[in-house]
Amino acid sequence: MSRLSSAPEAPPPPPQSTANTSAARSRMKALPPSRPNKRLILCEDGTWLDSDSSSLKNSISIESNITRLSRAIKSQSSDGIPQVSYYHFGVGAGGWMINKLMGATGAGLGEFVREGYEFIATNYTPGDEIFIFGFSRGAYTARAIAGLIGEIGVLTREGLPYFPEIFEDVRHQHDPNYRPKYPNIPFPNKPSAIDPEYREEMQRRRLTRLNVPIKVVGVFDTVGALGTPKIGWLERIGIQSSKQKSLSFYDTSLSNCIEYAFQALALDERRWAFQPTLWEKLPGNHTVLRQVWFPGAHANVGGGYDDQQIATITLAWMVAQCEAFLDFNIDYIFDQWDDSEDFYEKIGEKPRPWSFGRIWDGMTGIYTLGGAKIRTPGRYCAVDPDTGRQTDYPLENTHEYIHPSVRARIKLKGPGIDDRGVYECKALKDWKLMIESSEDGGKWPNIFWRSRYKPEQGFAKILPEAPLKPLEKDILDYDPETRDYVLRPFLREHLDLFSNWRDDTPD
């Protein structure tokens, strides 16, 4: 994929302030009409993944969920709104080991943040809707771009030539020793970028539009406090720690400019290097937040393994969250499910029940050196952005849910990790599944996970089961027996219907 054109090294002189021009102020307001002019969709792929390279396990390209999501988005909505997509391949994608090292250390992340932001700023006009999606390191990149928009707004065409210097100012805003290369760019006598006056003066000079809303940020399994999985030997020789220090400025918190934030998380990822980064909804934030845990490892949830069944379930979940805002080719999603069933036939298996896709064990290669750590839903603490180290402050208001596919795989005795034995979700060992009749006597039971022990103050006591949206139910309809259990869990006779599948499955 071609790179975006770079901005000039020496920016032109800054424009004069228009602070006293009421017309200029009104032009800078980001007040979208009820019907958007167009939709800008930025798709950031994960570390070591791109739609044209080899997959994690195979020499044949296996598409990530970001690739598949970008291909499912229609170029125009049913009511004629243009939907402009930009797919950004993963940091470290490609066959050379140096590319793999880039993906592990964080090298190149700044360039990807800049390019993604430039796509939005170059194409944005007031009234457009912005969507940003990402997987793995691409999820971190997506969140960093959203944070940048929340911090400096969307630069205008007048402001874009100064973006390289503005980017450096923001990058070093916490460094007291930083001396800008161009002290008078984007305007004379500029303060530190951490000072609100910095962005306010940019707006007065018509260099940016502040308070631009982002319709959706949707991510699959953000990993690493700074977007980079920590790998022990890279830290010990100083490669990874030095890179991570330069990445610490990126703001991946839940900005109030984000209207909807969705994250799919992997329950069974146990590599210590791949600890998840959850959002926290702070007081005063009005974002609609949903973070849902699924069975599987990192790339089961984000896509890239040859058995794509679980990834297709998470893909359908993400599309279902966004259907109200974006137009998708839904037949493409059904085709992906058909492809997963065809895969089993090609390897001599009969199609697996919904949620029974193979969960891969990622504890191989360099990641074995970092050790293992079971994930802990509802039990994560805030991370210090300057050091990347976890604090003792619990994340609150994370809006975490457990997907019904987890319940189905456990109760119907699906296969364990790497298809060994019966599935036991170690991440949920401190949680008990509760299925209760609805208080109002309705047809749908109340399903949730309750902590077996009294949690420390600030941690979650209840994790609700995520409700299935219509598209997800349509996928579930491919498997009537599993559907009957998922939708009517009180009927215990369904639990024995899967013995035939287990008996016919080779050890």
Report the pLDDT value the prediction gives residue 175, as an integer from 0 to 100.
Answer: 84
Residue type, 154: V
Report the pLDDT value the prediction gives residue 4, as an integer from 0 to 100.
Answer: 40
Q: In the chain, where are the structural domains located?
A: 37-341, 365-504
Mean pLDDT of the chain: 84
Is 113 within 8 Å of 140 (Cβ atoms)?
no
User: Token pair of 431, please?
Assistant: 């949680």
Residue type, 110: G
Report the pLDDT value the prediction gives residue 102, as an integer from 0 to 100.
Answer: 47
Inter-helix orientation angle 196-204/137-152, to 10°: 70
pLDDT in tens, 161-186: 999 999 999 988 888 899 999 999 99
Residue type, 455: P
Is 414 within 8 Å of 422 (Cβ atoms)?
yes
What phi, psi does 29 have (nearest 5°)?
-70, 135
94: CB partners within 8 A, 6+ apart = 50, 53
Distance between CA atoms of residues 68 and 283, nearest Å: 35
Domain 37-341 top-level CATH class = alpha beta
Distance between CA atoms of residues 193 and 345, nearest Å: 57
Distance between CA atoms of residues 394 and 499, nearest Å: 42
Residue among 315, 247, 292, 255 nearest 91 (CA)? 247
User: Token pair of 263, please?
Assistant: 């994250």
Report the pLDDT value the prediction gives residue 119, as an integer from 0 to 100.
Answer: 97
In this structure, what is the dihedral angle of CA atoms 222, 226, 228, 233, given to the nearest 10 degrees?
A: -140
Distance between CA atoms of residues 418 and 243, nearest Å: 33
274: CB partners within 8 A, 6+ apart = 223, 224, 229, 298, 362, 367
How far is residue 222 CA from its own chain's centroid? 5
How far is residue 225 CA from its own chain's centroid? 13
What phi, psi does 244 have (nearest 5°)?
-65, -35
Whole-number CA gyration radius for the chain: 23
User: What parts of the chain have a pLDDT lower than 50?
Assistant: 1-9, 19-29, 31, 48-59, 92-105, 227, 231-249
In this structure, what is the dihedral angle of CA atoms 323, 324, 328, 331, given to the nearest 10 degrees?
A: 60
Distance between CA atoms of residues 28 and 23, nearest Å: 9
Question: The tokens 């090609």 sit on which residue?
Answer: 346
Distance between CA atoms of residues 64 and 219, nearest Å: 12
DSSP character string of 129-153? EEEEEEETHHHHHHHHHHHHHHHH-
Q: pTM for this one? A: 0.87
Report the pLDDT value the prediction gives residue 145, as an integer from 0 to 100.
Answer: 95
Inter-helix orientation angle 109-123/239-247, to 10°: 30
Distance between CA atoms of residues 216 and 219, nearest Å: 10
Report the pLDDT value the prediction gives residue 95, as an integer from 0 to 100.
Answer: 46
**Residues shown for the chain:** 507
Q: Which residues pair with 218 in a beta bridge?
A: 133, 262
Q: Which residues pair with 262 in a beta bridge?
A: 218, 290
Neighbouring C-alpha atoms within 13 Å toward the C-beta of 367: 18
Distance between CA atoms of residues 479 and 401, nearest Å: 23
User: Token pair of 348, please?
Assistant: 């001599």
Is 74 within 8 Å of 111 (Cβ atoms)?
no
Q: Which residues pair with 261 in a beta bridge?
A: 217, 289
Residue among 385, 1, 5, 2 nearest 164 (CA)? 5
Q: Residue 123: helix, strand or coil by DSSP?
A: helix
Quickly list H helices, 261-417. 298-302, 309-322, 330-346, 404-411
User: Token pair of 81, please?
Assistant: 């709104």
Report the pLDDT value the prediction gives residue 156, as an integer from 0 to 100.
Answer: 98
